[in-house]
């Protein structure tokens, strides 16, 4: 598998073959040594098969989604030199994996409407919060993959707690129960979610006091943490 790394940390250059590292800042789409770096990336795109390219994005989680999305689109644009693209129609979208927390889903989908969240839990060996936990732990990594690749084409390992939902046509966590009312496997965090008839959506399981202002009464509902 051939690859090229774009990163702000220039020290990664020593771990990659010559011509396979580009010093790059994704927050402003800046190529250091632009006269050499940008042609190097375009040459990589030009000599690759368009249907075998994959962009993997693993930015700092505090980064602005709008800024990162703009850079992704500019990276895609650089691939329009590929001979396979010249025969295609419409704007180019390279298959992309964007690694980010699940709770940023609405922001990513707003900027990148073709993206959906894959339920694979991404763990880091050297991260204190997002490393793989014991299977009995209630807490799991909140990091997921957002992608424009059809989710039905992404096979997740069943021996690691995933199953294929025929109705959703995608792999989901074993604990993600399909909701007939929402017509979706709705859980985002790996825990079981319940359908709340008051909110007309599935929410995190919990017990809270809900004040119904329309009826001036207070009801205790075994449903979710917040409406």
Q: Which stretches of the chain drop beneath a pLDDT of 50?
A: 134-137, 207-209, 211-212, 214-221, 224-225
Stretch (H or E) spanning 212: strand 207-212
- Map 109-158 to HEC letters: HHHCCCCEEECCCCCCCCCCCCCCCCCCCCCCCCEEEEECCCHHHCCCCH
Q: Is residue 209 in some structural domain?
A: no
Contact 74, 31 (CB under 8 A): no
Q: What per-residue confidence (pLDDT) applies to 51?
A: 81
Q: Is residue 163 in some structural domain?
A: no
Q: What per-residue confidence (pLDDT) applies to 218?
A: 46
Structure-block tokens of residue 136 = 């009995």
Q: What per-residue confidence (pLDDT) applies to 37?
A: 94
Q: What per-residue confidence (pLDDT) applies to 127?
A: 61
pLDDT digits over 18-51, tens only? 899 999 999 999 999 888 999 999 999 988 887 8
Q: What percent of the chain has pLDDT over 90?
A: 60
Q: What per-residue confidence (pLDDT) applies to 224?
A: 47
Please give the Cα distance from 6 to 196 (Å, whole number): 44
Q: Is residue 22 in some structural domain?
A: yes
Please give the Cα distance from 177 to 195 (Å, whole number): 11
Contact 55, 41 (CB under 8 A): no
Angle at 151 between CA 94 and CA 1, to 5 degrees: 50
Q: Is residue 208 in some structural domain?
A: no
Say if pTM beats, i.e. exceeds, 0.95.
Answer: no
Q: Is residue 166 in some structural domain?
A: no
Q: Is residue 31 in some structural domain?
A: yes
Which residues form the domain of 28?
A: 5-149
Contact 121, 131 (CB under 8 A): no
Number of domains in the chain: 1
Q: Is residue 23 in some structural domain?
A: yes
Pairing of strands 30-31, 21-25: antiparallel
Q: What percent of the chain has pLDDT over 70?
A: 80
Structure-block tokens of residue 189 = 């965090």
């Amino acid at each position: 598998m051939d690859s090229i790394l774009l990163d702000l940390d220039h020290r990664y250059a020593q771990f990659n073959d010559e011509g396979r590292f580009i010093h790059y800042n994704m927050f402003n789409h800046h190529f250091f040594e632009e006269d050499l770096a940008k042609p190097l990336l375009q040459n990589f795109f030009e000599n690759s098969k368009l249907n075998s390219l994959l962009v993997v994005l693993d930015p700092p989680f505090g980064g602005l989604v709008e800024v990162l999305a703009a850079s992704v689109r500019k990276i895609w644009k650089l691939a329009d030199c590929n001979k396979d693209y010249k025969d295609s129609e419409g704007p180019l979208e390279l298959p992309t994996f964007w690694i980010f927390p699940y709770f940023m889903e609405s922001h990513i989908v707003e900027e990148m409407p073709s993206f959906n969240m894959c339920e694979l839990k991404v763990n880091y060996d050297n991260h204190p919060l997002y490393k793989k936990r014991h299977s009995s732990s209630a807490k799991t990594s909140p990091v997921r993959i957002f992608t424009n690749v059809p989710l039905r084409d992404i096979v997740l390992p069943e021996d690691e707690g995933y199953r294929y939902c025929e109705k959703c046509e995608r792999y989901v966590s074993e604990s993600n129960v399909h909701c007939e009312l929402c017509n979706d496997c709705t859980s985002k965090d790996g825990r079981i979610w319940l359908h709340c008839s008051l909110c007309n959506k599935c929410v995190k399981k919990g017990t809270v006091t809900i004040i119904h202002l329309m009826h001036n009464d207070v009801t205790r509902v075994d449903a979710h943490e917040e409406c």
